[in-house]
């Protein structure tokens, strides 16, 4: 389709192209002692794009990426985009069965991975594999891209075309592929630069995993807007503080679990480091408990604290800015840039201030839909383009939104979305189990932990240790039940539906 006048499409490769020419010598990414300039980032990503095209991949096809936070992540994302291909991030904490489902459902034609993670995908790897740090499943990434031309192929894509399919747990238990466009994330990056100071010459740290939606958005935004991002390979609160001092970081994105573990270090650990460069902290993934938010503001005086709310499907929906942080404790703020919201009752009628209702949003950040699942897409979007959050909220007289409860039973533990049904299905497959109900229970460190209520078959005996071993074979760490209760029956309403709220309210100490 021909472009209209002035219609140069947005692409997540755009920022790297621009600053690769404007500030080629500036540092774009650092990882320990390694440094990559914008010239290098532009060069490497173009080489990868040409390599993937030479391997026979066609624009629109998908490339799985199995990496933790490391220097190669931004160049790989950019290279995939330059080739007109679509990235499929895979979390390193997944089990082989979980990874195999994503590889199969996405139809990924190629895989780029950290060789140390080969065991996760060795049974489902596609023909084209590039390995970083070894050659267990495929040839060396570095060696292969070094032989490819560095000319940007500039494969044309429409800005509404997908750059990524991010898998997130759905209420049915099977992960859903959230299709995210170049337009969605490019506008997110620009708005993030406006809101949190990212941009030319600014320094930040990729703390949250880049294979998660928010982790990628806030880890890649700095290089899209001309700044610099340092990679934190794995979470360590002491290491983060040392990195803020060493890198002179200014803006850092965290989730509440990070704040819990930083607080646990004690005041002496904070005083030990020069954190004077830091001026902005922004939080997402789960609600910041009031006392923890107060601690963050007191522990980092002079630092602007933002609390965001959003999802992989909707992008950022609201933001509570520093000026309101103390007077609106418990609120996730007002609608973000270019975002309209509705709060409605079960019949779709608007509710007034102080009344509970379901939150819907409409913005350019919304997903294109769920991959190959039009029914699920249609079920969560209104005819006029508003996407449900699945959350029950209250909006006050000033328009500030507070999350009351999740409409569905999704559990969020340490920023990871967990579908209870997926865990229930695994438990139900264990010999002697009649049925199970899984809920999230409050936890000071993780926000929520998975708790399972298990009913056994008459006369059956189920050992907790054996059930735990069974779960570990199919579920990644955050999804494992941390508490298990064996009960004689599950509470139900007159229609036979399990009353999970009753389970939460009447929880007994773990067995």
Strand pairing class (175-181; 203-206): unpaired
Q: Tokens standing for 296? A: 């963050």
Question: pLDDT tens across 93-114, in order?
Answer: 899 999 999 999 999 999 999 9
Q: Which residues contact 345 (CB under 8 A, 6 or more apart)?
A: 351, 355, 357, 358
Percentage of the chain beyond pLDDT 70 is 95
Partners of residue 100 on adjacent β-strands: none
- Check: CB of residue 412 under 8 Å from CB of residue 286: yes
pLDDT of residue 460: 87
Contact 242, 278 (CB under 8 A): no
Q: Give the angle subtended at the CA of 18 by the CAs of 158 and 55, to the nearest 5°.
A: 55
What is the location of CATH 3.30.300.30 in the chain? 411-505
- List, for residues 299-311, the tens digit of each pLDDT value: 999 999 999 999 9
Q: Which residues, including other chains, have CB under 8 Å from residue 340's CB and lie 6 or more apart?
A: 361, 362, 363, 386
What architecture (CATH level 2) is domain 1-181? 3-Layer(aba) Sandwich (3.40)
Pairing, β 251-254 against β 203-206:
parallel
Q: In whole angstroms, what is the distance from residue 19 CA to residue 183 CA?
A: 19
Read off the pLDDT of residues 145-196 as tens digits, 9 standing for 90 and up: 999 999 999 999 999 999 999 998 644 457 899 999 999 999 999 999 999 9
Over residues 256-283, mean pLDDT: 92
Q: Name the pLDDT band for 510 (thresholds 50, 70, 90).
A: very low
**What is the spatial distance between Cα 379 and Cα 473, in angstroms, rounded to a whole number?**
32
DSSP 188: H
Q: 351, 400 in Cβ contact below 8 A?
A: no
Say what the pTM is.
0.84
Question: Model confidence at 493, in pLDDT bands (50, 70, 90)?
Answer: low
Rounded Cα gap, residues 414 and 261, in angstroms: 11
Quick one: pLDDT at residue 418? 82
- The DSSP output letter for 52 is H
SS3 64: strand
Neighbours of 17 (CB within 10 A): 18
In angstroms, the Cα distances linking 48 to 31, 66, 103, 110, 226 are 19, 16, 20, 12, 21
Q: Are 79 and 154 in contact (CB under 8 A)?
A: no
Find the Cα–Cα–Cα–Cα dihedral 307, 311, 312, 316, rounded to 10°: -50
Q: For residue 2, what pLDDT band results from cuts at 50, 70 and 90?
A: low
Report the length, in residues, of the chain.
511
Mean pLDDT over the full length of the chain: 92
CATH architecture of the domain 411-505 equals 2-Layer Sandwich (3.30)
Percent of the chain with pLDDT strictly greater than 90: 76
Give Cα separations from 108 to 80, 139, 236 (angstroms).
12, 18, 32
- Among 263, 192, 176, smallest CA distance to 226 is for 192
Pairwise CA distance, residues 481 & 467, whole Å: 10
**CA torsion, ordered 135, 136, 139, 145, to nearest 10 deg:** -70
- Tokens of residue 275, six digits: 């954190």
Q: What pLDDT is recorded for position 287? A: 73
Looking at the predicted structure, is the pLDDT value of residue 138 above 90?
A: yes
> Residue 489's closest CA among 499, 475, 480?
499
pLDDT of 429 strictly over 80: yes
**Per-residue confidence (pLDDT) for residue 3, from 0 to 100:** 55
Closest CA to 212 of 182, 256, 160, 168: 168
Pair type for strands 340-344 and 356-362: antiparallel
390 vs 413: CA distance, rounded Å: 17
* pLDDT, tens digit (0-9, with 9 covering 90-100), for 445-462: 888 899 999 988 888 889
Task: Of 356, 361, 334, 336, give the one whose Cα is nearest residue 346.
Answer: 356
Q: For residue 250, what pLDDT is reported?
A: 98
List the alpha helices (DSSP H) in 55-170.
72-82, 96-106, 118-121, 141-146
Residues with Cβ within 8 Å of 85's Cβ and at least 6 positions away in sequence, in order, are 52, 57, 59, 60, 61, 62, 63
**Does 291 score more than 90 pLDDT?**
no
Which part of the chain is CATH 3.40.50.980?
1-181
Q: Give the whole-angstrom CA distance, residue 421 versus residue 436.
A: 9
Tell me: the pLDDT tens digits for 368-403? 999 999 999 999 999 999 999 988 899 999 999 998
Find all residues with CB under 8 Å of 461, minimum gap 6, and list them.
432
């Amino acid at each position: 389709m021909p472009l209209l006048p002035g219609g140069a499409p947005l692409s997540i490769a755009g920022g790297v192209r621009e600053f690769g020419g404007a500030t080629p010598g500036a540092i774009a990414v650092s990882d320990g002692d390694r440094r990559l300039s914008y010239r290098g980032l532009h060069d490497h990503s173009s080489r990868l794009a040409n390599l993937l095209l030479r391997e026979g991949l066609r624009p629109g096809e998908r490339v799985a990426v199995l990496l933790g936070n490391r220097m190669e992540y931004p160049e790989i994302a950019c290279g995939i985009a330059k080739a007109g291909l679509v990235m499929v991030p895979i979390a390193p904490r997944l089990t082989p069965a979980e990874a195999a489902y994503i590889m199969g459902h996405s139809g990924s034609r190629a895989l780029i991975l950290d060789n140390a993670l080969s065991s996760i995908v060795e049974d489902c790897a596609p023909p084209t594999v590039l390995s970083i740090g070894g050659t267990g499943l495929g040839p060396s990434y570095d060696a292969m891209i070094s032989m490819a031309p560095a000319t940007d192929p500039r494969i044309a894509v429409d800005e509404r075309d997908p750059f990524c399919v991010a898998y997130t747990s759905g209420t049915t238990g099977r992960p859903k592929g959230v299709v995210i466009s170049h337009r969605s994330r490019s506008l997110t990056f620009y708005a993030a630069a406006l809101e949190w100071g990212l941009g030319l010459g600014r320094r930040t740290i990729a703390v949250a995993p880049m294979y998660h939606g928010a982790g990628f958005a806030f880890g890649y935004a700095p290089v899209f807007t001309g700044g610099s991002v340092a990679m934190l390979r794995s979470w360590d609160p002491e290491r983060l503080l040392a990195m803020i001092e060493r890198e002179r970081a200014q803006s850092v994105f965290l989730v509440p679990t990070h704040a819990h573990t930083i607080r646990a270090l004690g005041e002496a650990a904070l005083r030990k480091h020069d954190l004077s460069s830091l001026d902005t902290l922004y939080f997402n993934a789960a609600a910041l408990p009031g006392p923890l938010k107060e601690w963050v503001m007191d522990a980092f005086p002079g630092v602007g604290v933002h609390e965001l709310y959003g999802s992989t499907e909707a992008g950022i929906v609201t933001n509570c800015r520093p000026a309101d942080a103390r007077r609106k404790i418990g609120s996730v703020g007002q609608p973000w840039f270019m975002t309209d919201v509705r709060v409605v009752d079960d019949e779709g009628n608007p509710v007034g201030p102080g009344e509970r209702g379901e939150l819907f949003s409409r913005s350019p950040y919304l997903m294109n839909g769920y991959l190959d699942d039009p029914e699920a897409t249609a079920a969560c979007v209104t005819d006029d383009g508003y996407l449900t959050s699945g959350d029950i909220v209250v909006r006050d007289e000033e328009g500030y939104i507070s999350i009351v409860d999740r409409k569905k039973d999704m559990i969020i533990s340490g920023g990871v979305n967990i579908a209870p049904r997926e865990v229930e299905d695994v438990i139900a497959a264990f010999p002697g189990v009649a049925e199970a109900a899984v809920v999230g229970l409050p936890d000071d460190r993780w926000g929520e932990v998975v708790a399972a209520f298990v009913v056994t078959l008459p006369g059956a005996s189920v050992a907790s240790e054996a059930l735990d071993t069974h779960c570990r074979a199919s579920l990644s760490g955050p999804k494992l039940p941390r508490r298990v209760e064996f009960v004689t029956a599950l509470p139900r309403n007159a229609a036979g539906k399990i009353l999970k709220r009753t389970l939460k309210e009447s929880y007994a100490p773990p067995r």
